[in-house]
Structure 1
């Protein structure tokens, strides 16, 4: 995450003028001295940038089940059985129920046009999102889900939780402000001016890259086949 801070500082130039007036009078000459000080205030802008690189602290896995049946009830029964089994077994891995969410559920008819239009069956699609905070369990979640009947793995996205995002945002902000202050102090010293207070601060936050799914498109899983254990790597993000 990158933050840029632009600050406007007041610099004060102090000029002193001494005016000496001499008056000729009889007797001792009186000396009159007065001093006038003028202050000129102006602002100058400095910028600072803070950048923090961190590793994702959670993974979001998209799982799905698709089936076709001759009746609505049969399709629903199949879907409910598979999804309930996946949910139960994923929870047994230590995943909280709040982190398992149904994101889509669709049931629609299939039509046969070979001998006029008539319904030949019903298609059911159910999609789940599973949030995993322990990366050691990502592989297990995928393997358990596909074993239980999930035949779609839409993708894996490694993301940063809201709490961690706020923390690294504050770190980047502090870096940017410290850099801007150092620049202002150095500029004031070289220019021979006295640094005043900050009069304005502007913050610009660079957009964090959107998480890219590890699997770019739906991957059909053959439940009858066997596969090597899934391996994924979260990497890091800036």
Structure 2
């Protein structure tokens, strides 16, 4: 008889355990907060280069290399540091004739195109227009883009994270109020990082003499996830 009662008791405990575990699950509010900070940029990165075509590969490469050498010399004369100038791409491709024709004649190489692209960081934005004008005068004939950024982005990133945490806390407080519960302490915080500086607004400003460029503003964003307990019963 005692064995029967003991077996029934264990069976009841086994069935009740999942229910007790479910009831013991923590009561929490989970939210995601975002933050953004805008500031005027203090650095620009430009991608420019030289492309030349010739019947002989060496001639195409020589013409391109000569122009790039002049561009690099001008950048040095303008005070740009070697660490801010880097070769980004160097290409030599054949030019084909009859490559897509439906005839029986085999495609032939009729020439070559050589391209050299360099990435240049300009830390003195007031000279950006002058730099662009100078490299065009010295032979640069391709331009692949211009990006504004910050030399020291960390202070902006830190401020964006503070705003992301404030946003998350405001959301959690609102949710707790709407649900009629009391918001408890922070249980965990997860930093999801954020985007680097991106263009936000354009300002009608001229960056020194030469090619007119508008710097505008850049924004830095951050995102966090926060888990809060629910106080009381």
TM-score by length of 1: 0.60
Distance 1:84 1:52 in 2: 40
In the TM superposition, what whole-angstrom CA distance separates every residue of 1:70-108 from its partner, at most 9, and x where no partner exists? Answer: 222222221111101101101211111121111111112
| 1:103-137 superposed Cα distances (whole Å, 9 cap, x missing partner) | 11111222344986443222111111111111112
The alpha carbon displacement at 1:148 in A equals: 0.6
Partner of 2:4: none
- Residue 61 (structure 1) aligns with: 46
Q: Label 1:85 to 1:179 Cα distance change in 2 as closer, same or farther (>3 A).
A: same
Query: C-alpha deviations, 1:119-178, integer Å up to 9, x for none?
Result: 3222111111111111112111111111011111222121234x31x2211112234445
Whole-angstrom distance in 2 between the partners of 1:48 and 1:120: 59
Superposed, which structure 2 residues align to 1:32-43 within 5 Å?
none
Task: Give the one of 47, 51, 63 matched to 1:78.
Answer: 63
User: Which consecutive residues of structure 2, in runs of 5 or more, have no partner in the other structure?
Assistant: 1-25, 203-208, 220-233
| Correspondence 1:158 to 2:148 | yes
Offset of residue 43 of structure 1: 5.9
User: What is aligned with 1:129?
Assistant: 119
- Check conservation: 2:148, 2:198, Cα contact below 8 A: no
C-alpha deviations, 1:168-211, integer Å up to 9, x for none? 111122344456668989989xx9x8x97532223455545755
Aligned to 1:105, the other structure's residue is in SS state strand
Paired residue for 1:103? 88
RMSD, aligned CA: 3.7
Q: How many residues align?
A: 179
Query: Quick check: which has more Rg, 1 or 2?
Result: 1
Partner of 2:210: 229
Distance of 1:49 and 1:119 partners within structure 2: 55
Counterparts of 1:116 and 1:180, CA distance in 2:
66
Q: Distance in 2 between matches of 1:64 and 1:145?
A: 9
Counterpart Cα distance in 2 of 1:65 and 1:234? 25
* Secondary structure of the corresponding residue to residue 111 of structure 1: strand
What is the TM-score with the length of structure 2 in the denominator? 0.61
Change in CA separation of 1:199 and 1:102 when aligned onto 2, cut-off 3 Å: same
